[in-house]
Amino acid sequence: MPEQPITPSFPLIGDKFPDLTVQTTHGKKNLPGDYKGKYFVLFSHPADFTPVCTTEFYSFAKRYDEFQKLNCDLIGLSIDQVFSHIKWGEWIEENLGQEIQFPIIADHGLVAKTLGMVHPGKGASTVRAVFVVDTEGIIRIILFYPQEIGRNMDEILRIVKVLQISDEHKVAIPANWPNSELVGDHVIIPPATDVETAKKRKEKSTEYECYDWWLCHKPLK
Is-contact 111 20, C-beta < 8 A?
Answer: yes
Q: What is the pLDDT of residues 93-114, one digit of tens each?
A: 999 999 999 999 999 888 888 9
pLDDT of residue 118: 79
Ramachandran angles phi, psi of 38, nearest 5°: -130, 155
The rounded distance, in Å, linking the Cα atoms of 153 and 62 is: 10
Q: Which residues of 39-54 are buried (b: 16+ CB within 10 A; e: fewer)?
A: bbbbbbbbbbeeebbb
Cα maximum dimension of the chain: 72
pLDDT at 202: 87
d(CA 156, CA 98): 20
Determine the average pLDDT of the residues in 170-186: 97
Model confidence at 2: pLDDT above 80: no
Nearest in space to 119 (alpha carbons), one of 146, 81, 80: 146
The pTM of the full predicted model, rounded to 2 decimals, is 0.90
Domains of the chain: 20-151 (3.40.30.10), 170-221 (3.30.1020.10)
Q: Which residues are catalytic?
A: 53
pLDDT 10s digits, 123-175: 667 889 999 999 999 999 999 998 889 999 999 999 999 999 999 999 999 99
